[in-house]
């Protein structure tokens, strides 16, 4: 019974690790699509998107089986329920990467990001992808030292997000409402993506250390 439980849990862990890798790669490609008006990269994100939902469904099924057949209690039960929450966060990250890819395609062959904002978005996407990579490490290796790093990355991304608004709302902004709206929505996708990465990692770390990460 215990052996079976460990095997099942290892499978769930592998699924979560695959999800983390997938949503990181999706944001990497979506950002390439966005910043280089790279249609193939953005199309690839849409083509591969169903995989995230399929992985989440597998996590749901596997954890359901564990609960139904093994009836875990105490910390084992927490692990299983947390896996479900983490999978939900990562599915959402996949959706947000898809939003970025779609925004890139909507303006193709034009750039969806105006020149004044390219640098800010390049940095935001670097940080978002880096955060997904760290989240992957946390999920795959239960490396709790990464939690603090993710919080710092998130602060850095928030600062860039504020800088983006400052550029758009400055008197010398000449691109009008549509480019500003594109940027505001894109900024929100990156911000939410990062929030979910922090959240997913914090939940894994809670399992490892039993402590809630400082907000």
Stretch that binds a copy of itself, among 70-78, 101-109, 133-141, 196-204 (CB under 8 A): 70-78
Which residue from 173, 206, 207, 213 is in contact with a copy of itself, where contact means CB under 8 A? 173
Q: Which of 5, 38, 39, 84 binds a copy of itself (CB under 8 A)?
A: 84
Tell me which residue of 140, 159, 151 sits closest to 194, measured CA to CA.
151
81 counts as binding a copy of itself under rule CB under 8 A = yes
And the tokens for 152?
């710092």
How deeply is 153 buried, as exposed, middle or buried, from its count of CB atoms within 10 A (0-12, 13-18, 19+)? buried
- Of the candidates 11, 46, 67, 207, which one interacts with a copy of itself according to CB under 8 A? 67
Written in H, E and C, the secondary structure of 126-171 is HHHHHHHHHHHHHHHHCCCCHHHHHHHHHHHHHHHHHHHHHHHCCC
DSSP letter, residue 112: S
Q: Binding to a copy of itself by residue 7, rule CB under 8 A?
A: no
Instruction: Determine the interface stretch with a copy of itself among 40-48, 103-111, 143-151, 177-185 (rule: CB under 8 A).
Output: 177-185
Tokens of 185: 């929505």
Interface with a copy of itself, residue 207, by CB under 8 A: no
197 binds a copy of itself (CB under 8 A): no
């Amino acid at each position: 019974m215990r052996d079976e439980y460990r095997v099942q849990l290892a499978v769930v862990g592998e699924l979560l690790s695959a999800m983390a890798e997938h949503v990181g790669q999706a944001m990497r490609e979506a950002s390439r699509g966005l910043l280089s008006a790279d249609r193939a990269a953005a199309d690839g994100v849409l083509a591969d998107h169903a995989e995230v939902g399929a992985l989440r469904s597998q996590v749901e099924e596997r954890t359901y089986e564990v609960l139904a057949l093994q009836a875990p209690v105490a910390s084992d039960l927490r692990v299983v329920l947390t896996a479900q929450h983490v999978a939900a966060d990562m599915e959402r990250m996949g959706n947000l990467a898809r939003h970025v890819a779609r925004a890139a395609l909507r303006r193709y062959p034009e750039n969806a990001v105006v020149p004044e904002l390219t640098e800010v978005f390049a940095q935001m996407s670097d940080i978002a992808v880096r955060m997904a990579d760290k989240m992957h490490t946390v999920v795959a290796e239960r490396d709790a030292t990464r939690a603090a790093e993710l919080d710092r990355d998130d602060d850095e991304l928030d600062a860039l997000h504020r800088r983006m608004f400052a550029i758009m709302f400055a008197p010398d902004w000449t691109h009008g409402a549509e480019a500003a709206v594109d940027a505001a929505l894109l900024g929100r996708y990156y911000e939410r993506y990062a929030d979910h990465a922090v959240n997913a990692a914090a939940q894994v770390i809670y399992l490892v250390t039993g402590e809630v990460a400082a907000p």
